Amino acid sequence: MDAQTWPVGFRCLLLLALVGSARSEGVQTCEEVRKLFQWRLLGAVRGLPDSPRAGPDLQVCMSKKPTCCTRKMEERYQIASHQDMQQLLQTSSSTLKFLISRNAAAFQETLETLIKQAENYTSILFCNTYRNMALEAAASVQEFFTDVGLYLFGADANPEEFINRFFDSLFPLVYNHLINPGVTDSSLEYSECIRMARRDVSPFGNIPKVVMGQMGRSLLPSRTFLQALNLGIEVINTTDYLHFSKECSRAFLKMQYCPHCQGLTLSKPCMGYCLNVMRGCLAHMAELNPHWHGYIRSLEELSDAMHGTYDIEHVLLNFHLLVSDAVIQAHLNGQKLLEQVNKICGRPVRTPTQSPRCSFEQSKEKHGMKTTTRSSEETLANRRKEFINSLRLYRSFYGGLADQLCANELAATDGLPCWNGEDIVKSTPIPLLLEVLVTASHCQYLLHRIAAWPKVHALLLRHPSYTPVIRQ
């Protein structure tokens, strides 16, 4: 049995017997301590005491009474207590981590589906309405939506550039097939001149700017939202593997395994004692809590801002309508555009190459282009809302972690005898016990902060999603 299964196995053993009601006096044998030690450490270890004896070389589990521990055992217990604490931290955050990672994967998959569906809608538009230019437009359509996906998933792309690039490539097609059609196509050089002239003659009116506005306001929040989820996973992974100070490592050992040295293998720490140790050693977690709370609040505000023309689903699935409007507008202003292009590029030089026609079948179902009606429950916005509602339950996760671990995993149940760091005592009310411990000269609540805290703090502060989004 490995180290990670110890906390569960240990709890099972606790159910097999009741804790002794009084103190640790009169332990005659170390048999139970030997069995648990060997089981925990995967095999026999030489030099385990058969009966209690003096332990002058112990560094942490010191006692005036005879002990079942040696210095070597204490060192192995030190390793075990550290492993136990790491396992507890990982177990306590596993549900939160799964919630975020599962939704990050689901959101990315949904966005990939939306991008493909929007690309299909645009291809269908050309295939059904502008068949002569459909195959020529296919490469530009595919490149555009590839750029959309790359940007959403974190690549260094500029939406304004790939939107302009799409409409630049669209204008020569519209000009050659709708404005100045001929039995042959213009040369590549002439088409390139038309492409370069697009921003001067504005054949599509303000539609490219409308697309930039909608894409800019929807792509960036979606991109940031997805990056923020990955940031949350990174923060959890960091706090799951924090390096504890020497003082905390000794405190964990004393709280969890020093009772074994006195033969108290079934004991648990008193609640007040546990809280003092855990709140002290996880004080950095409590300091992280307001930043974590702000991170979740920022996610809420970011999600709330993604609606209407800001909603990525609405923008992507209606992109083909704006493309259609752009083509129609250019067609209606054909005579004016013809004169402008002739003035800039001259009259077309035709080549004998005929443009290929659309090869798509009329059936959308045959090519996976079936238009589907999405119910309200299936929308990306509703998925985000459901996720945020679940995430709100963890707003105080780091602030209450120490108390949660003591209450659910480590400390003895109220009313049962418990370990106070020195011996087994009758459980006392938590406020009274805390008052005694907090005013003690060696208060464990003031243990050193761990070194990894600045790293976690930096992870949250560096990301744009941490700055609350101002609603328009």
Q: Is residue 31 part of a domain?
A: no
Nearest to 471 by CA among 231, 292, 217, 225: 217
pLDDT at 456: 46
Domain with 276 in it: 71-350+378-462
Alpha helix (H) residue ranges in 130-186: 131-152, 159-174
Residue 259: helix, strand or coil by DSSP? helix
Q: State the Cα–Cα distance between residues 402 and 288, nearest whole angstrom.
A: 13
As a 3-state breakdown, the chain gives helix, strand, coil percent values, each rounded to 5, of 65, 0, 30
- More confident: 106 or 3: 106
Compute the distance between CA of residue 167 and CA of residue 176 in angstroms, rounded to an integer: 15
- Is position 175 within any domain? yes
DSSP character at residue 38: H
Please answer whether residues 419 and 273 qualify as being in contact, where contact means their C-beta atoms are separated by less than 8 angstroms. yes
Residue 165 pLDDT class (50, 70, 90 cuts): very high
28 lies in some domain: no
Q: Is residue 107 part of a domain?
A: yes
- Listed in sequence order, the residues at least 6 apart from 55 whose beta carbon sits closer than 8 Å to its beta carbon are 61, 62, 63, 66, 67, 69, 70, 71, 261
**The tokens 């790293």 sit on which residue?**
455
- Closest to 210 (Cα-Cα) out of 202, 110, 201: 202
What does the pLDDT read at residue 428? 58
Answer yes or no: are the C-beta atoms of 125 and 358 closer than 8 Å: no
Asked if residue 457 has pLDDT above 60, the reply is no
CA distance 330 to 124: 20
Q: What pLDDT shows up at residue 231?
A: 87
CB-CB contact of 81 with 281 (8 Å): no
Contacts of 112 (CB under 8 A, 6+ apart): 149
pLDDT confidence tier of residue 376, bands split at 50, 70 and 90 = very low
Rounded to a whole number of angstroms, the distance between the first and last alpha carbons of the chain is 57
Range name among 7-16, 81-90, 221-230, 240-249 with the lowest pLDDT average: 7-16
Nearest by Cα to 289 from 387, 402, 409: 402
Q: Return d(Cα 467, Cα 100) in angstroms, integer.
A: 19
Listed range (44-58, 226-240, 322-336, 433-447) with the worst mean pLDDT: 433-447
Please, which residues have CB within 8 angstroms of residue 173's CB and are 6 or more apart in sequence?
Answer: 133, 136, 137
- The C-alpha atoms of residue 72 and residue 66 are separated, in whole angstroms, by 16
Comparing 432 with 405, which gets the higher pLDDT?
405
Residues 382, 386, 392, 398: what is their CA dihedral angle, to the nearest 10 degrees? -120
Q: What is the pTM of this model?
A: 0.75
Q: List, for residues 263-275, the tens digit of each pLDDT value.
A: 888 889 999 899 9
Nearest-5° Cα angle at 126, 337 to 123: 130
Determine the pLDDT at residue 216.
85
How far apart are alpha carbons 252 and 353 in whole angstroms?
81
Determine, yes or no, domain membership for 188: yes
- Specify the number of domains making up the chain: 1
Q: What is the pLDDT of residue 357?
A: 57
Judging by beta carbons within 10 Å of its beta carbon (0-12, 13-18, 19+), is residue 117 exposed, middle or buried? buried
Q: Could you tell me if residue 245 is inside a domain?
A: yes
Q: Pick from 253, 272, 298, 303: which is nearest to 80 by CA?
A: 253
Determine contact, residues 456/288, Cβ cutoff 8 Å: yes
d(CA 86, CA 249): 11
Q: Which of 175, 173, 186 is nearest to 134 (CA)?
A: 173
Q: Mean pLDDT over residues 288-309, rounded?
A: 83
Please report whether residue 364 resides in a domain. Answer: no
Six-digit token pair at 334?
A: 């054909």
pLDDT greater than 50 at residue 50: yes
Number of Cβ within 10 Å of residue 77's Cβ equals 24
Report the pLDDT value the prediction gives residue 10, as an integer from 0 to 100.
42
Residue 451, token pair as written in the block: 């070194």
pLDDT score for 112: 94
Chain CA centroid to CA 316, Å: 24
Supply the pLDDT for residue 388: 94
Instruction: Report, in angstroms and rounded to the nearest whole number, the Rg of the chain calculated over CA atoms.
Output: 34
CB contact burial 150-166 (16+ within 10 A = b; e otherwise):
ebbbeeebebeebbbbb
Q: Look at residue 421 and tell me if it is in a domain.
A: yes
pLDDT of residue 320 exceeding 80, the answer is yes
Closest CA to 418 of 429, 402, 408, 404: 429
> How is residue 377 written in tokens?
């429950």
Ordered DSSP codes for 193-210: HHHHHHHHH-TTTTHHHH
| Distance separating alpha carbons of residues 68 and 282, to the nearest angstrom | 30
Q: Output the average pLDDT for the chain.
A: 78
CA separation for the pair 77, 55 (Å, rounded): 15
